[in-house]
Structure formats: C-alpha cells, structure tokens
C-alpha cells in the first residue's frame, strides 16, 4: 500500500530511467508480495478438503453472525483508533510545528521513542497500566472517582487505548510532514488580511495539512485492523478481531481455505477505506504543488 499523498520532491534527470531504477524493488515485491497474495486468494476459493473451485468459504463467513460481529468489531476498532490518533495527534504535530528548534529536538525524541520499542514490549506495558491493580485503576480509586476498580484489561476499550498509543507516532509524524510543507508566508498573508489566529488555522493551516491527515489515517487504520499481538494480549481470549480469527482458523484449526477467505475479506475492507480516503486526497491534489 502506498502513502499516496505525501508530496514527492522533484527529481533531477538521472542517468537511469526511473523505470529501470524501480526494477529491483519490482522484482522483490513480485516474489514476496504479489505471488503470496495470489496464492492466498487462490486458496480462499478451495473447499476445505480436496480440490476444485468454490465460494463456500465466503458463504460460510458471511452467513455466520459471529464472523460478521468480528468484522464489524475490527472495523469499529480501526475507526476508533484512527479518530483518537487524529484528535490526540494533531495538537502534538501542531505544537511541534510551532515550536522553537530547541523544543523540536526534545519533541522529536519523545515522538520517536515509542517507535524504538517493540510493540510487544509496549503491549505488556499496557497490561500493567490497564490491570485491576494497574496505574489507571489505582489513580481513579486514589482520587476517589470510583470505588471499585473498573475492568479495562480484556475489554475493547482497553485494546483501543493501547492501539491508539502504539500508532500515535505515525499519525503525528505524518501530520508534521504535511505541516512543514506549508509555506509559513501563507499564515502571514492571512493575518495581514485581518484573519485572526483561529481563522488562519481553520481556513489555511488545517485544509493544507489534509494530505498529512489522510496519509496518517490510512496508515493507522490499516495497521490497526491488521494488528495481531496487541489485540490478542490486551483482548485476551474473549475478544476476537479479524487477525486473531485468521490465526485461530489457519494456525490452530488448520482450516487454511477459510483463513484465506477471512484474510481476503480483511484485505478488501482495508482497500475500500484506502479508496475512500484516496478519493478525498485526490481533491487536495490540485493545490499540493
């Protein structure tokens, strides 16, 4: 999947044509991406036993309401995490953008730090935070806001919180990239025309950072709905999302064709979202030089 809307810098003429330069990557992608994808799709059209072509796997998926629930829950998780990342991420990116060089160094470090730790480690961190005796419950009980610890671990809310923290840096970085592409003179022009800070933000800065918002949302959504480790650990055995369903069917129950069909459904969901967001992105293409 491409991050379609990050503007690419203009290139000087190179001795090799761009087509030739892309050959090694094209070969690599064909070998390790396109071929496995075709194999996967082919597998999803096979019956559980023996050969032949059948739509039975898809029929089975869409007729079982439990599967539909997994699909909607996964989509819902993706949407929640994306929106939460946007709401928490935009102010951070904006603050970074306005900050002095010295603050930028500190902020860069803080934003990148979580990315330098593995998702597994961060997930176990969240287990500690969300548990009955965890940070959040101790704090809330300590402040007298609740009497009994609330259940966060093994809940959808807990998964969404952890995922938001895990993918937030990607949203922030993507928006920062977009904000830094905006000519600071545009904001100055807005102010010189009598536009106050809020008008300048809503009319100039926000619309012009839309490409970064879109690519950030694409990344976060796609990564969230295909995450496996965090939903399995924080969600425990009780919560099932598409990746955990694929794992269960393919690795535990060895029902490869059904697992392939679930994978294909997940892939299509992601592609639809990518398509919708890219269409929105197309409209911004006009003014991103």
Interface contacts to other proteins, rule CB under 8 A? 183, 185-186, 188-196, 199, 203-204, 207-208, 284, 286-289
In the structure encoding, which two tokens stand for residue 274, read together?
């990518």
Number of DSSP helices (H) and strands (E) in the chain, helices first: 16, 0
Q: Which is nearer to other proteins, 163 or 208 (CB)?
A: 208
Whole-angstrom Cα distance, residue 249 to residue 245? 6
Min. distance of Cβ 203 from other proteins in angstroms?
A: 7
3-class secondary-structure state, position 259: helix
Of 190 and 244, nearer to other proteins (C-beta) is 190
Q: Which is nearer to other proteins, 51 or 194 (CB)?
A: 194
**Shorter beta-carbon distance to other proteins: residue 114 or 195:** 195
The least distance separating other proteins from the CB of residue 172, rounded to whole angstroms, comes to 23
**220, 169 contact by CB (below 8 A):** no
Residues 222, 263, 231, CA angle at the centre, nearest 5°? 55
Q: Which of residues 26 and 186 has its CB atom nearest to other proteins in the complex? A: 186
Q: C-beta of 8: minimal distance to other proteins in Å? A: 16
Minimum separation from the CB atom of position 4 to other proteins (A): 18
Q: How far is the CB of 198 from other proteins (least distance, A)?
A: 11
């Amino acid at each position: 999947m491409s991050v379609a809307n990050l503007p690419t810098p203009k290139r000087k003429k190179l001795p090799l044509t761009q087509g030739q330069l892309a050959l090694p990557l094209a070969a690599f992608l064909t070998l390790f991406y396109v071929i496995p994808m075709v194999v996967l799709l082919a597998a999803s059209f096979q019956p559980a036993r023996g050969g032949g072509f059948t739509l039975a796997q898809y029929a089975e998926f869409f007729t079982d309401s439990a599967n539909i629930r997994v699909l909607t829950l996964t989509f819902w998780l993706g949407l929640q995490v994306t929106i939460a990342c946007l709401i928490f991420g935009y102010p951070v990116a904006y603050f970074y953008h306005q900050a002095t060089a010295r603050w930028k160094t500190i902020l860069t470090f803080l934003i990148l730090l979580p990315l330098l730790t593995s998702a597994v480690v961060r997930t176990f961190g969240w287990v500690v935070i969300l548990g009955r005796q965890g940070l959040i419950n101790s704090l809330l009980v300590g402040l007298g806001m609740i009497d009994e610890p609330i259940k966060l671990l093994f809940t959808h809310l807990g998964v969404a919180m952890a995922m938001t923290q895990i993918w937030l840096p990607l949203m922030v970085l993507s928006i920062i990239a977009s904000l830094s592409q905006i000519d600071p003179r545009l904001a100055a022009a807005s102010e010189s025309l009598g536009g106050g800070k809020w008008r300048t933000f809503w009319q100039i800065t926000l619309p012009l950072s839309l490409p970064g918002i879109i690519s950030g949302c694409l990344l976060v959504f796609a990564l969230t709905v295909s995450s496996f480790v965090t939903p399995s650990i924080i969600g425990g055995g009780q919560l099932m999302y598409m990746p955990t369903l694929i794992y269960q069917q393919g690795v535990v129950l060895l029902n490869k064709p059904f697992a392939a069909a679930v994978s294909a459904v997940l892939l299509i969901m992601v592609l639809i979202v990518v398509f919708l967001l890219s269409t929105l992105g197309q409209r911004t293409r006009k003014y991103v030089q």
